[in-house]
Structure 1
Amino acid sequence: MPEIEKTTYQDTLAYAKQADAADPLARFRDMFNIPKDAQGNNLIYLCGNSLGLQPKKAKEYVAQELSNWADIAVEGHFKAAIPWTTYHEVMREPMAAIVGAKPEEVVLMNTLSTNLHLMMVSFYRPTAKRYKILIESDAFPSDSYAVKSQIKEKGYDPQEGLILWQPREGEHLNRFEDLEALMAEHGEEIALVMVGNSNYYTGQKYPIKEITQLGHRYGCKVGFDLAHGVGNIDADLHYNGPDFAVWCTYKYLNSGPGAIGGCFVHERHANDKDIPRFTGWWGHKMESRFNMRVDFDPIPGAEGWQLSNPPILSMAPIRASLEIFAEAGFKNIRAKSKKITGYLEYLINQLNDERISILTPENPEERGCQLSIQVKNADRSMHDGFMQAGIICDWREPDVIRVAPAPLYNSYEDVYEMTQRLKQLLANI
């Protein structure tokens, strides 16, 4: 069937149904559990930017490991169908494909903020002259807390050691030329550039390659938080070349609340045994790991930053989700993302309501699937109205609704129905 192009968008239910019929990824929706209301009707779930839906196979895979634990106990480390000792290795290649890395550059371990701290132990190495960290001004709070605590732990004042890349007065989005100006002014003082690749509030996607090249030009290490980017945008980490990246897996990667995180370390650091790091025995080479009386000998690549044996029950759901990603193909996922978010943008603009504005960049290359919709004079009651209307989305103070049509389980009809209900809500305020 022909592709759905932006120029053919129509504000009709018939068009939305036609688009779903032409969607090559439509069949993947049935692989997820869709939340229902009290009457058993599907809710419209547009909140994958906060928590992705549960893959149906997740329960099966968790149950499988619970059975292994019950039936063979400690022997599961070596005798389970997927031995627990190497369980994380099964997910290395599909995870690498999503973030655009080599398999040895990625590892699933810990949680996002823990991984960020571990990476800063290695890549934030301040000196008297170069001790500052640059982040975006509206970074997610956990990133801000982490970098401030690292600066303080190294003996510096976070008020002086933190440089903020921020929008111009009256604007919501960050401009790359302003980052260039900051680097020109402070580049020799900056030890680490650490940016959240896709901003949680506006949905703006920052250019990984250009930021990395800019930071490296001034001798800085460069890292990214992909919490809102992984599974959502083309990160191409190996090609774009940052020193490290970290992410969670419970948003677009659908691995469950508070699930395990992920980490990328570029291959140029793979064999550097002298790089400072916090160490644990699971980062030790497998060949001698269980010889408990040898000095630490790190696994080359990202796995060398592991601390502890992986939490198998937490890893089982992400295994289920990554299988779906691998079957669908990330290029196909990204292609649908651009189309379905473009359709959402079109429908919102069709409302022609001066109270509505979209904070997220219009250019599909500068965003993922999320649109941040600002509603003038609205308050949280607007979000409550969505919930009462059977739409699960996300509210951010003071007046922004974040809507994220996830291409693996959201439909064009979901998007159409959401905007129809938005129209009704606007009529009542």
Structure 2
Amino acid sequence: MGASTDQSRFSNLRSQAEVLDGDDVLRHLRDEFRIPSKADIKRTTLEDQQQKEDRNSNDPDPAPIPTDETTTCTYLCGNSLGLQPKRTATRINQYLQTWSTQAVQGHFKPLSDSPLPTWLDADSRAAKLMSPIVGADESEVAVMQTLTANLHLLMSAFYRPDPNGKHKIILENKAFPSDHFAVLSQIRQHGLDPATSMVTIESPYSEDSLLTTYDIQSVISKHAADTALILLPGIQYYTGQLLDIPTITAFAHKHDIFIIWDLAHAVGNVPLHLHDWDVDAAAWCTYKYLNGGPGCIGGMFINSRNSLVSTTIADPEPERGYGKRLSGWWGNDKATRFQMETKFHPVKGAAGFQLSNPSILDITSLSASLEVFELAGGVSALREKSMKLTAFLEQSLSALSEDAKKLFRIITPSDPDQRGAQLSILLDDGLLGPIMKEFEKIGIVVDERKPNVIRVAPSPLYNSFAECVTFAEGLEAALLATQK
């Protein structure tokens, strides 16, 4: 009876998933990505033995690499590392061809049969592709450096503490460690003590580290008189909670406080309107939902009012025309960048905060994925599917047996407007290791956060509703296996 009931539960879910996948107008985007097979994720070599033999033989019909739905793994880890778009290899090969055939001329010489920009303009094209994803004017976006480096650059420019006035930085108590480290070091760089200059926000009511807008506003109000800067995540990495960016930004401005947003888990995941929300500044990585590749180049938003340049190239003292910032030659005006002038006159906008010339390999990889976002019709279309996917994942988890459900709970907000694509699942103590081992056996890839959380993120670009059911079945089997 029990087995029959279990089969019926998941059979009904699979029937629903089949209908939802059939109605999905974005399902064709899955074909834009390389999805590892179950065999792939278990291998300890780049290719399996059969592939090696086929490649090394003269067999005109080598065995095909399995790519159908039944052999792909269930990859629900886009919140940590997005899958590789198929066009990434094509674009990188075009870049390598440019380098091999044009060498230094690649900086300036456009090629009629290549879709790639010259290397001199690669950062500008990437900013153009990125700007609609974050809801900004193109001039307010720079594709540069990496996330923590960009946070440091922003704080170096806009954290101007007065030991006798505004000197504190407010952040959440469970901030991603790198953000926490950056704040600590910035405070110490100014000769201040984190014990008195750093304030952390913690909810007095939530056992799951969720922060209400009221919690955040209360801390801001309490410390407004001596707070110089706020650093918050758009989506909290551990819980998957989406914060109310426009409301909190407006509240910070009401108290004359500069606010920076870490959008690592929000960019490419939820619609952003940084310009319309009057956000001061933001930074993000590009290897999660943006699928740029591991450690890929980051991005930065600086509101146009914070990057004004009022002097001209000919001004003998150009530094009078822009605010405090760290500077480098790639941020210099393009008209004089290669004249090797020693007077820095920045490009107007966020691009004027650039330092060294960017990695063209990184930008090429990122831009390949951003092309797929254009095919999708933008983040709003993806968000619509994402909300359905995450809700169906939640529904699938609610269908688990009572014996399984007593071993975990979801700590991400149930309100769809307060979360992105991620559900964070808090397991009973001691279950994380065994669960992850079971997932490896059956070809499910998710992210773990010790000591006892798994983060599950169905990406609307390449995940299906059927995979939500596959995960739920796999989780129930893994949970029950730990109880034997």
Normalising to structure 1: TM-score of the pair?
Answer: 0.95
1:15-164 equivalences in 2 (<5 Å):
15-38=16-39, 40=66, 41-81=71-111, 82-128=117-163, 129-164=165-200
Deviations 1:251-301 (A, max 9, x none): 000011110000000011231443110000111111111121241111111
Say which of 267, 275, 298 aligns to 2:304.
Answer: 267
The residue that corresponds to 1:4 in the other structure is none
Question: Are 2:384 and 1:348 equivalent residues in the alignment?
Answer: no
1:332-347 equivalences in 2 (<5 Å):
332-347=381-396
Q: Contact 2:432–2:454 at 8 Å: present in 1 too?
A: no
1:411-422 equivalences in 2 (<5 Å):
411-422=464-475
Question: Are 2:266 and 1:229 equivalent residues in the alignment?
Answer: yes
Cα distance in 1 for partners of 2:475, 2:341 equals: 64
Cα separation, partners in 2 of 1:10 and 1:284, compared to 1, 3 Å? farther
Cα distance in 2 for partners of 1:341, 1:10 equals: 19
Of 294-303 and 252-261, the range deviating more from structure 2: 294-303
1:351-370 equivalences in 2 (<5 Å):
351=400, 352=402, 353-370=405-422
> Structure 1: which 5+ runs fail to align?
1-8
Aligned length: 421
Q: Contact 2:307–2:349 at 8 Å: present in 1 too?
A: yes
Q: Contact 2:29–2:462 at 8 Å: present in 1 too?
A: yes
List structure 1 segments (4+ residues) > 3 angstroms apart after TM superposition. Answer: none
Q: Contact 1:165–1:179 at 8 Å: present in 2 too?
A: yes
The residue that corresponds to 1:212 in the other structure is 249
Q: Contact 2:158–2:258 at 8 Å: present in 1 too?
A: yes
Deviations 1:27-63 (A, max 9, x none): 0000000011228421010000110000001111111
SS in 1 for 2:85: coil
Larger radius of gyration: 2
Cα distance in 1 for partners of 2:23, 2:35 equals: 21
Cα distance in 2 for partners of 1:280, 1:64 equals: 28
Tell me how far 1:170 sits from its aligned partner: 5.1
Q: Contact 1:29–1:408 at 8 Å: present in 2 too?
A: yes
Backbone CA RMSD of aligned residues: 1.4
The residue that corresponds to 2:224 in the other structure is 187
Tell me how far 1:317 sits from its aligned partner: 1.2
Tell me how far 1:354 sits from its aligned partner: 2.3
Cα distance in 2 for partners of 1:17, 1:160 equals: 56
Tell me how far 1:169 sits from its aligned partner: 5.1
Of 374-383 and 153-162, the range deviating more from structure 2: 374-383
Cα distance in 2 for partners of 1:342, 1:11 equals: 16
SS in 1 for 2:459: coil
Cα separation, partners in 2 of 1:206 and 1:279, compared to 1, 3 Å? same
> Structure 2: which 5+ runs fail to align?
1-9, 41-65, 112-116, 310-320
Cα distance in 2 for partners of 1:319, 1:107 equals: 13
Q: Contact 2:270–2:380 at 8 Å: present in 1 too?
A: no
The residue that corresponds to 2:7 in the other structure is none
Paired letter, 2:331: G
The residue that corresponds to 2:215 in the other structure is 178
Deviations 1:136-191 (A, max 9, x none): 11110100000110000011011221111112255221122122221221111110
Tell me how far 1:355 sits from its aligned partner: 2.2
The residue that corresponds to 2:352 in the other structure is 304
Cα distance in 2 for partners of 1:428, 1:402 equals: 20
Cα separation, partners in 2 of 1:307 and 1:389, compared to 1, 3 Å? same
Cα separation, partners in 2 of 1:126 and 1:23, compared to 1, 3 Å? same
Paired letter, 1:356: F
Question: Are 2:449 and 1:407 equivalent residues in the alignment?
Answer: no
Paired letter, 1:422: L
The residue that corresponds to 2:434 in the other structure is 381
Paired letter, 1:319: S
Tell me how far 1:210 sits from its aligned partner: 1.1
The residue that corresponds to 1:6 in the other structure is none
- Of all paired residues, the percent bearing the same amino acid is 41
Cα distance in 1 for partners of 2:96, 2:426 equals: 45
